[in-house]
Structure 1
Amino acid sequence: MSDLVSALAGARYAGLATIEEAGLQGMITLRGDLSSKTLQKAVKAATGAEVPQTRRISTSDSGAVAWMSPDELLLLVPYDEVEEKTAAMAEALSGEHALAVNVSDARAIFTLSGAGAREVLGKVCPVDFDASAFKAGDFRRTRMAQVAAAFWLDEAETFHIVCFRSVADYVFNLLKTSAHPQSRVGVY
């Protein structure tokens, strides 16, 4: 069996903010009726977190759940448990009109931290990153320059960014360029 590797093998850059490829992360895309008690129970069993409100993320010690659309969630679980949790989710939802798919190896995840993090993202995403507008627990799906991305802010003021693995190098370089010390705009 081959060794597991993340998209960019832990790439890191420090400038206006620190960008780090976060490594392997278990991710399950779940489609279904988010108001279903059966689905909510299966989500809680897999992640320890509740189904979040619109454009929010719910976290626990064992995982997280992000709102992706009115009928879609992204579940974050330990990478080494994702197959087991996906199978358990499919079994728990067998009577529901729902779909659970392991998308871990199709995605990459980055962290963006530091005083300039809001500015770095603000230059490449059409989102208001003012501290009064984007708070801990907020979650967005949007464009990051020319590619799809999703991100949230945690309590430690660190952004977590998810993108397709196929564009991980592009996203890293985009963030790196936006975080270059000579590119400060000073909006946030």
Structure 2
Amino acid sequence: MSNAVSALHGKVAPGEVTIREAGLRGMIILRGDLGDKKLRKVCTDLTGVKFPEGGQANAEGDKGLCWMSPDELLVLVPYAKTGQAAAQIDAALSGTHYLAENVSDARAVIYVEGAFAREVIAKLAPVDLHPDTFKAGDFRRTRLGQVAAAFWMRDEDTFMVICFRSVGQYTFDLLAASAKAGSVGHLG
């Protein structure tokens, strides 16, 4: 059996805004009726976080729930427990219309950390990131440069970016270029 490796092997671009790969992350795409009590319960039981409203993400450590669309969630669990979590979802939702798929090895997760993290993301995404509009816990599924991505603010200085593994290096390099010394910290 082979050992799982993350998309970017722990790559870090240090600076005023640090760009770093988050490593292996457990992720399950769950599609179904987000108003269903069984679906909501299994998700909150697995993660220990509050079920998110539209456009929100709730996360604690390696666990969380991210609202992807009106019928889709991203369930975050520790990587080693992804199979067990998917089985719990299957058991809880048996007999209902849903789809749960482990996408852990198909995605890359990148942290953008620092006082100017908002500026780094704002240069690349067609999203209003003004502090009055986009706050901690807010989540968007959009584009970064030329690739599909999703991101949310973990706190005032930290974004988490999720993209397809196949474009992980491109996304990392794009974020690192956007965070380059001298290119952030000029917005007033």
TM-score normalised to structure 1 length: 0.95
Write the distance in 1 (CA, Å) between the matches of 2:183 and 2:157.
21
Write the distance in 1 (CA, Å) between the matches of 2:173 and 2:59.
29
% identical aligned pairs: 51
Moved more, 112-121 or 56-65: 56-65
Q: Give, as a single letter, the amino acid of the residue that structure 2 aligns with 1:45.
A: D
Partner of residue 33, structure 1: 33
Task: Decide whether the 8 Å contact of 1:67 with 1:139 is kept in 2.
Answer: yes
- What are the ranges of 5 or more consecutive residues in structure 2 without an aligned counterpart? none
- What are the ranges of 5 or more consecutive residues in structure 1 without an aligned counterpart? none
1:90 matched to 2:90? The reply is: yes
Write the distance in 1 (CA, Å) between the matches of 2:34 and 2:139.
17
Task: Decide whether the 8 Å contact of 1:118 with 1:129 is kept in 2.
Answer: yes
Q: Shift of residue 154 of structure 1?
A: 1.3
Moved more, 102-111 or 146-155: 146-155
1:154 partner SS: strand
Write the distance in 2 (CA, Å) between the matches of 1:169 and 1:60.
26
User: Aligned-residue CA RMSD in angstroms?
Assistant: 1.5
Q: Give, as a single letter, the amino acid of the residue that structure 1 aligns with 2:10.
A: G
Partner of residue 173, structure 1: 173
Runs ≥4 residues deviating over 4 A:
none
2:148 partner SS: strand
Q: Shift of residue 91 of structure 1?
A: 1.2
- For these two proteins, the number of residue pairs brought into alignment is 188
Partner of residue 14, structure 2: 14
Write the distance in 1 (CA, Å) between the matches of 2:156 and 2:54.
22
**What are the superposed Cα offsets for residues 15-66 of structure 1, whole Å, 9 maximum, x if unpaired?**
3410000000000000000000011111112211232100001234661000
1:181–1:61: structure 2 CA closer, same or farther, 3 Å change rule?
closer
Moved more, 59-68 or 41-50: 59-68
1:118 partner SS: helix
Write the distance in 2 (CA, Å) between the matches of 1:16 and 1:132.
23
Moved more, 140-149 or 50-59: 50-59
1:180–1:138: structure 2 CA closer, same or farther, 3 Å change rule?
same
Partner of residue 187, structure 2: 187
**What are the superposed Cα offsets for residues 65-104 of structure 1, whole Å, 9 maximum, x if unpaired?**
0000000000000000000000110111012111111000
TM-score normalised to structure 2 length: 0.95
Q: Shift of residue 155 of structure 1?
A: 2.8
Partner of residue 48, structure 1: 48
Moved more, 172-181 or 128-137: 128-137
